[in-house]
A and B are shown apart, each in its own frame.
Chain A
Amino acid sequence: NAGVMQNPRHLVRRRGQEARLRCSPMKGHSHVYWYRQLPEEGLKFMVYLQKENIIDESGMPKERFSAEFPKEGPSILRIQQVVRGDSAAYFCASSPRDRNTEAFFGQGTRLTVV
């Protein structure tokens, strides 16, 4: 059973471009979480999704950031008009249920905005 797959592992974007980060959860997992890790910081929760639904987006910046988890295919974190401050590692985690289960993390996508 493959783990949580994130791609790309590394992404370089120029200021003003769009960044698309993909996350394929573990097989059988219907809950996906996105986190951002700034340099020298811990992980900060961004958004929690189930298939076709955003459950909790309390950690998402109000502008330029969006996330989806369609019925088919991976979850996508989209950052429009990237700025240097968006440079960070973005981690995805998945779990089979909401509560009382471990969430499994992917290896992350390291976004660099130049």
Chain B
Amino acid sequence: GDSVTQMEGPVTLSEEAFLTINCTYTATGYPSLFWYVQYPGEGLQLLLKATKADDKGSNKGFEATYRKETTSFHLEKGSVQVSDSAVYFCALPPYGGSQGNLIFGKGTKLSVKP
């Protein structure tokens, strides 16, 4: 069935470092792809999304490109800040499912040190 695999954390970076969090997926068809962020003690917030191959989602300096050839949707940011410390989840809707019914990766915890 459909699935999402994320790189395991935790990831610890210094402020202004470059961030990559890998996400690969297995899916029937070509679903939309999402990155969600969960700040400590909070619920999930949609960070960015891409709805078709080669689309690039971007928000708050984060980017991810929908790569059909490599079935990947890696999250990147050129210069992280302490406030980016959070858990990041890659997700997709299962085949035939709604966008509220999502399959999530296990999450990658990011800690940014000053």
A residues sitting closer than 8 Å to B (CB atoms) are 4, 6, 31, 33, 40-45, 48, 56, 91, 93-95, 98-108
Interface size bucket, B side? 20 to 34
A62 CB, nearest partner CB in chain B, Å: 19
Q: How far is the CA of A108 from the CA of B45 in the complex (A)?
A: 12
Residues of B within 8 A of A56 (CB): 97, 101
Count of chain A to chain B residue pairs whose CB atoms are closer than 8 Å in the complex: 62
Q: Would you give the 0/1 interface string for B19-59, flagging 1 where the beta carbon is closer than 8 Å to chain A? A: 00000000000001000100001111110010000000000
Does A102 contact B99, Cβ atoms closer than 8 Å? Answer: yes
Does A42 contact B43, Cβ atoms closer than 8 Å? Answer: no
Does B100 contact A95, Cβ atoms closer than 8 Å? Answer: yes
Known: A40-B106, A45-B102; 11 extra A-B contacts, CB below 8 A, are A4-B43, A31-B100, A33-B101, A42-B89, A91-B44, A95-B98, A98-B99, A102-B46, A103-B102, A104-B46, A105-B36
Q: How far is the CA of A83 from the CA of B110 in the complex (A)?
A: 32
Does A101 contact B43, Cβ atoms closer than 8 Å? Answer: no
Cβ-closest chain B residue relative to A110: B41
Does B44 contact A101, Cβ atoms closer than 8 Å? Answer: no
- With contact pairs A41-B106, A56-B101 given, residues A105 and B43 touching in the complex (Cβ less than 8 Å): yes
A56 CB, nearest partner CB in chain B, Å: 6
- With contact pairs A42-B89, A42-B106, A42-B107 given, residues A48 and B43 touching in the complex (Cβ less than 8 Å): no
Does B98 contact A31, Cβ atoms closer than 8 Å? Answer: yes
Does B105 contact A42, Cβ atoms closer than 8 Å? Answer: yes
